[in-house]
Amino acid sequence: MAISAAPQKPPVDRDSAGTTAITTDPHRLRTAAGFRRSGLVAVITKILLLGLFDAFSLSLIFAMAGLYLWGPLVATIIITLLINWIYLGKSRRLPGKYLTPGVVFLLVFQIFVVFFSGYIAFTNYGDGHNSTKADAIGVITVAAQKRVSDSPTYAVNILQKDGKFFFLITDPDGKMSVGSSTDPLTEVKNPQRDSAGKANGLPGYDTLTLDRVLAAQEAITAIAVPLTADPADGTLRTDDASSAYLYKSDLSYNQKADTFTDGSGAVYRDDGKGEFATANGTKKLSPGWKIDVGFENFAKAFTNPQLSGPLLRVAIWTFVFALASVALTFALGLFLALVLNHPTLRGKKIYRVLVILPYAFPVYLSGLVWAGLLNPQFGFVNQVLFGGAQIPWLTAPLLAQFSVILVNVWLGYPYMFLVCTGALQSLPEELNEAARVDGASPWRALRSIKLPLLLVSIAPLLIASFAFNFNNFNVIYMLTRGWPRFSDTTFDIGSTDLLITMVYKVAFGSGGARDYGLASALSIVIFLLIATISVIAFRRTKALEDIN
């Protein structure tokens, strides 16, 4: 679409009779010229930015096409065309120019993440099941390879290109070829040769010297270069970076029957669960592949004895932790706000700065500091405050739960103090005067007048604070890591784990295999719990809006 700047009319003046004339005022002429230059710079900047964006989008499109990601590819094309249409369009599309960046980021970082997590919850995605069936077959074949006893010797030189290692092979018949762990051997013409006539270099590739080979010895000896595109034909491997030998799998794959057969005659079939297994299920081949499993992850969360019992206890503790944290931080924050908001108190600014200091430190750092303070052997709390007693603040279940609530209150009350201080200062002074005239005590004035008015503005923040503490990962993980562990489960779940830390451990394999499908299912459960509670709480708080 061609873009041209609108013709600029020269600035004009109007005389007392209303007639117009071209101005000769130097200042106005310079201003008009400046506007024209600014408009031209803006157009050029817009074109350059759109060009960079289109180039980036094009690179993504080619990458997605190579990975056969057709859904994201189509979405990228649509978004790119839409953005170009909006920003190269007429002035009536001006609102879209401001809304588009926010909408795109919302789609990419919020909507897509939510829907992708929802999709993963209905799959077996995790350790050993993170790719396609074709990839799994290839990996199984390569992993089961053993050196062929009568393998011929292949002369090899190690090349490098774009940070990737290649084998330059000369076979016993003199044929020369090059390949890598992902690229099967391809015959090369006219390579560089040594005095014995063997290939030792290739244009465009860097031949590694001995010292560089030794520096990358572990990576080089782990390379398996496919002989052909068929994994069954075997791979070439080297132990000394000068000679390579043929390796073949002792598992043979029958593509027509979709089965593996090992040297003992055992047959492995697709068991419908994303892996090859024997008929009785006693032997399985790894890795498997990702498949859809329906509601299996949700059923596992609530029916697996190793998970359902701990899940219930963790859910109850999560509610207790969130409610106690909100109630105690609000009570302490409101108390300090009332005290430090007294009109006759001197040095209020200094006290307020001291009160909000815990809010100024990073949460993860505060958690580590408190973990040291509560250490039973040499922590400050036991050594100084309790005369050297070895109280297991973080290793006994009930004490650990008390400790994390205490630390969370210490971290959270400054926020409530700031909120309550602002709300109290917004209340008209006439209310206090009217209460005193009516003979109400300070407590009665607080309970019947100030607190209801405070809740009108603070209730939504309390709901948000509950949702935050429901997922307060930092305090738990930095202070106790969810321990002490439960003794009746093989999962790494403990007395101070919240649902969010439990999901993290399931997803990233703390003490076990990673299971992203199960973790995503638990994440959906958390989302539904918080959404339900928030809806109910917001409906309850509507009654406060009637307070005048």
Supply the CATH number for residue 481's domain: 1.10.3720.10
SS (H, E, C) 358-381: HHHCCHHHHHHHHHHHCCCCCCHH
Each residue's pLDDT tens digit, 317-350: 999 999 999 999 999 999 999 999 888 888 988 9
Question: Could you tell me if 177 and 244 lie in one domain?
Answer: yes
State the Cα torsion 15-20-21-26 to the nearest 10°.
70
Mean pLDDT of 392-418: 96
Report whether 530 contacts 503 (CB < 8 A).
Answer: no
**Alpha helix locations (H) across 67-179?**
70-87, 94-106, 112-120, 133-143
291 domain residue, yes or no: no
Question: Could you tell me if 406 and 498 lie in one domain?
Answer: yes
Question: Could you tell me if 198 and 272 lie in one domain?
Answer: yes
125 domain residue, yes or no: no
Amino acid at 141: T
Each residue's pLDDT tens digit, 488-513: 888 899 999 999 999 999 998 765 68
Point out the least confidently predicted range of 310-324, 448-462, 530-544.
530-544
Point out the least confidently predicted range of 36-40, 87-91, 132-136.
36-40
Question: Could you tell me if 532 and 482 lie in one domain?
Answer: yes
CA 412 to chain centre: 25
At residue 71, the pLDDT reads: 86
297 domain residue, yes or no: no
At residue 26, the pLDDT reads: 64
Strand extents, DSSP E, 171-280: 176-179, 186-187, 192-193, 199-201, 206-207, 225-226, 235-238, 243-249, 252-254, 259-261, 267-270, 276-277
Question: Could you tell me if 445 and 477 lie in one domain?
Answer: yes
Question: Could you tell me if 374 and 460 lie in one domain?
Answer: yes
Neighbouring residues of 161: CB distance < 8 A, sequence distance ≥ 6: 204, 205, 206
Phi-psi region of 74 (alpha: psi -120 to 50; beta: other; left: phi over 0): alpha
Quick one: CA dihedral 395, 400, 403, 409, positive or negative?
A: positive
Phi, psi of 246, rounded to the nearest 5 degrees: -85, 130
d(CA 92, CA 33): 25
Mean pLDDT of 187-204: 91
SS3 of 226, please?
Answer: strand
At residue 432, the pLDDT reads: 81
d(CA 198, CA 70): 45
SS3 of 243, please?
Answer: strand
295 domain residue, yes or no: no
Q: pLDDT higher for 143 or 91?
A: 143
Q: pLDDT higher for 315 or 16?
A: 315
Closest CA to 255 of 132, 134, 128, 131: 134
294 domain residue, yes or no: no
Which helix (H) or strand (E) covers residue 166, if one does?
A: strand 164-170
Q: Which domain covers residue 235, as residue numbers?
A: 133-285
Question: Could you tell me if 399 and 371 lie in one domain?
Answer: yes
Longest CA–CA span in the chain (Å) reads 111
256, 285, 314: which is the final residue of a domain? 285
Question: Could you tell me if 171 and 200 lie in one domain?
Answer: yes
d(CA 299, CA 122): 11
Mean pLDDT of 244-249: 94
pLDDT > 70: what percent of the chain?
A: 91
139 domain residue, yes or no: yes
Total Cβ atoms within 10 A of residue 321: 21
At residue 32, the pLDDT reads: 60
Q: At what angle do helices 451-470 and 516-541 cross, to 10 degrees?
A: 170
How many folded domains does the chain comprise?
3
Mean pLDDT of 275-300: 94
d(CA 369, CA 380): 11
The answer, yes or no, to whether residue 110 has pLDDT greater than 70, is yes
Question: Could you tell me if 164 and 115 lie in one domain?
Answer: no
Question: Could you tell me if 466 and 365 lie in one domain?
Answer: yes
Instruction: Specify the pTM.
Output: 0.81
pLDDT > 90: what percent of the chain?
A: 63
Report whether 498 contacts 472 (CB < 8 A).
Answer: yes
Binned at pLDDT 50, 70 and 90, residue 417 comes out as very high
Residue 426 has what DSSP assignment? H
- Taking CB atoms within 8 Å and a gap of at least 24, the contacts of 536-544 are 537/459, 537/463, 537/466, 538/460, 538/463, 541/455, 541/459, 541/460, 541/463, 544/452, 544/455, 544/456, 544/459
